[in-house]
Structure 1
Amino acid sequence: MSTDSDRSNHDASRRRVLQYGAAGLGLAALPWPLGAAEIDPEAARQSMRQRAIPSSGESVPVIGMGSSGSFSTRSQDTLADLRTVMEHFVAMGGTLVDTSPTYGNAETNIGNIARETGLRDRLFMATKVHIDGRQAGIDQMAESERALGSPIDLMQIHNFIDLETQWQTMKQMKTDGHVRYIGITHYLTSAFEELEHQMSTKDLDFVQFNYSIMTPDAEKRLLPLAADRGIAVLVNRAYNDGRFFSQVKGHDLPDYAKEFDCFSWGQFALKYVLAEEAVTAVIPATSDPEHLADNMHAGYGKLPDTAMRKRMRQTLASL
C-alpha cells in the first residue's frame, strides 16, 4: 500500500552527484550537499521544471516527495533528519508532499515539521482517505486537516476504498473549501483497468499510480487518457520500491546520460518518468538529505527524448 520508498537507495552513484552534478548543469547557485542556508531558494524555484495542473493552470514542481516508510517515526534523532530533509526540499525548489493516514504517524510529523520550520505556506499538501463509511471518512479527513493544516491542497481516495462514498464527501469538501483538488490513487498495475474506468467517468483533478522504467505499463493507456481528460498525474514507485537500484548496483552510469543532464542512476529513473509530458510530478520518498538532493536534481536540466528513452530501456535490460 506504499508509494515509492527510497530506503534501498544506498549505492555510491547517489552520492557522487553531490560532488559534481550542479557544476555539470551550470547551477552554481545550488550547492546540493550543503546546508539549506547556503542554497539559493529563488534560483532553485526558477530552475526547477514545473508543470501545470490541467484543471486550474496552477503549476507545481515536477519533483515532489512521498512519505511512505520515511516520515513515520517517534525518534527525535530521526525527526531532526526529517526536518533537514523538509528544509532542503523546499530550498531546492520542491513544494508537493504526499502522505496518508495509513503511513503511521507521517501526517503528524509532516504537519509539525512544516509549522516548526515556517514552511507550511510554501508546501502543497497531498494526503488520502482510506476507510469505509461516510462518517468515518469525514472524521479521517478532518483529522488529516488538523494534522497538516487547512486547506488540504489535494485529497485522494486511497486504493479505491469505499470509493463512491468518499468521492461524494470529497466533492462537498472541495465545494466548502476544505480541499482544493480531489483525486484517486493506486500502486498496482493490476488496478489499471479500474483506474481507467474512474478516469473516464469522474471529474478528477489528480490521479496517482505506479510508473517506472521497469514497469512502463501506464504508457499504453493511462498516461494518454490523463492527457486527453486533463487530469494531473502523480507517479509513485518510480524506483520499484528499491528494486531498480538492486538491478543497477555495480554498474557504471552510461556516458550518454550526460546528454540529458543526468549524473546518477536515481536521476536516470526519475528523468525517464518525467520525460512523459502527461506526468505532473513524481514523488520518491526519502529520509536521507543526500538522497533528497539527488532526487531533486532530476527536476533540472534536459529530459531524454523518445529515442533516448528507448536506449535507456535497452541499457537497463542489458544489466
Structure 2
Amino acid sequence: MKTYPLGKRTVHRVGFGAMQLPGRGAFGPPRDRAEALAVVRRAVDLGVDHIDTAQYYGPDVANEILRSALHPFPERLALVSKVGARRDAKGAWLPADRPEELRAGVLENLRSLGVERLAAVNLRLHTKGDPAVLDEQLDAMIALRDEGLIEGIGLSNVDEEQLRQGLGRTEIVCVQNPFNLVDQQSRPVLELCTERGIAFVPFFPLGAAFGRERVLGHPQVKAVAARLDATPAQVALAWVLAVAPNTLLIPGTASLEHLEENMAAGHLKLDDEARAALGVTGTPA
C-alpha cells in the first residue's frame, strides 16, 4: 500500500475506523467484545498505522476497546479523533462545539485512550453557521495544539469556504467529509485538499449514510468486481483511493471477515477499463 502524509506522520492509505466497534449506531456495548478486540489487533498486524476514533462513539466504548487491545500504543500508530458532538442517554447525536466543549472533548479522548497526545483531532461542524463562531472554534483548537495535546488540526463536514477560512487561520492536516462513488458533493473540497497537500479522509465510502446498495449495487461496480475477481466493497474502496493521491481510507467494521476484505482493497489495482467504467480520470493514484 502507498502512503501519504497526515500532518507530521506518514501513514498507509488504508487505515481503520473505530465507529462500528460499539453497538448499533455507534452506541452502547459491542455485539461481540472478543471479536472487536481481535479486529483491532488484526488491523494493526495487517499494517494499519492510522486509526480514527471518537470519545462519543459509545460513548467511551470505541476508545476503551482500542485501549484494551493495543495499549501501550505502537509509536508508529497515528490516533486521530474528533470533537464537536456528544450523545444523550438514548444515543442521539447532539452538538458540543463551544470552545470549552471542544477542549473538554479532547481531554476526554486523552483520558479514555490513556495517551498524552493525539496525532490529529478533527473539529466536526454541524451547520454552515457564522464565520466568527468558526474562528472561535479554531482558536480553541490552535490552543490545544500549542499546548501539545494534539499534533494537528483537522476539519470534518465542511464546505470549501469553511476549509479556506480554516486554512487562513492555521495549518489543516486532514479533512473528513462524506464522499463515495455516488455522492461526490465534496469533490470541490477534495480538489482543494489535493492542491494544498492535505489528507482527505472520506467517511461513508460505501454509502452508509443513505444505504450501501446505491454504491455496492451500482451496475458498474458489480461488473468491475466480477471481472477483477473482487467484491463490490473492494472496488468501491479502491475507487476512493484512485480518485486522488491524498485520499485515506478508514473503513470500519467489527467483523474479522470484513476487515480482511477491506484491507485487501488497498492492493486492488483498477486497470484502464475499470477506471473508465467508474469515471476515474487522471494519473493513477
Quick check: 1:99–1:128 contact (8 Å CA) kept in 2?
yes
1:157 counterpart SS class: strand
Q: Distance in 1 between matches of 2:123 and 2:268?
A: 33
Alignment of 1:274-313 (within 5 A): 274-304=241-271, 308-313=274-279
Structure 1 residues not aligned, in runs of 5+? 1-47, 315-319
Match status 1:49 vs 2:2: yes
Q: CA deviation at 1:300?
A: 1.8
Give the percent of matched residue pairs that are identical in Structure 1 and Structure 2: 23
Match status 1:68 vs 2:19: yes
Quick check: 1:235–1:282 contact (8 Å CA) kept in 2?
yes
1:116–1:164 CA distance, 2 compared to 1 (3 A): same
Aligned twin of 1:95:
49
Q: CA deviation at 1:234?
A: 0.9
With the length of structure 2 as denominator, give the TM-score of the two structures: 0.77
2:159 counterpart SS class: helix
Among candidates 204, 218, 223, match of residue 254 of structure 1: 223
Letter in 1 for 2:79: M
1:255–1:193 CA distance, 2 compared to 1 (3 A): closer
Match status 1:78 vs 2:46: no
1:250–1:269 CA distance, 2 compared to 1 (3 A): closer
Alignment of 1:109-258 (within 5 A): 109-118=62-71, 120-121=73-74, 122-130=76-84, 131-148=96-113, 149-159=115-125, 163-186=134-157, 191-198=158-165, 200-202=167-169, 203-219=171-187, 221-241=188-208, 243-245=211-213, 248-249=216-217, 253-254=222-223
1:104–1:201 CA distance, 2 compared to 1 (3 A): same
Quick check: 2:41–2:69 contact (8 Å CA) kept in 1?
no
1:119–1:92 CA distance, 2 compared to 1 (3 A): farther
1:313–1:79 CA distance, 2 compared to 1 (3 A): same
Aligned twin of 1:31:
none
2:177 counterpart SS class: strand
Q: Distance in 2 between matches of 1:96 and 1:281?
A: 9
Moved more, 76-85 or 141-150: 76-85
Letter in 2 for 1:157: L
Quick check: 1:155–1:183 contact (8 Å CA) kept in 2?
yes
Q: Distance in 2 between matches of 1:92 and 1:138?
A: 33
Structure 2 residues not aligned, in runs of 5+? 85-95, 128-132, 281-285
RMSD: 2.9
Q: CA deviation at 1:181?
A: 1.2
1:254 counterpart SS class: helix
Q: CA deviation at 1:127?
A: 0.9
1:127 counterpart SS class: strand
Q: Distance in 2 between matches of 1:70 and 1:112?
A: 8
Q: CA deviation at 1:286?
A: 1.1
> Which whole-Å deviations, capped at 9, do the CAs of 1:2-39 have from their partners, x for residues lacking one?
xxxxxxxxxxxxxxxxxxxxxxxxxxxxxxxxxxxxxx
Q: Distance in 2 between matches of 1:208 and 1:123?
A: 19
Q: CA deviation at 1:272?
A: 0.5
> Which whole-Å deviations, capped at 9, do the CAs of 1:265-314 have from their partners, x for residues lacking one?
11110011101234331122211111111111111252455x63331259
Q: Which has the higher contact order (CA 8 A, sep 6+)?
A: 1
Letter in 1 for 2:124: H
Q: CA deviation at 1:152?
A: 1.0
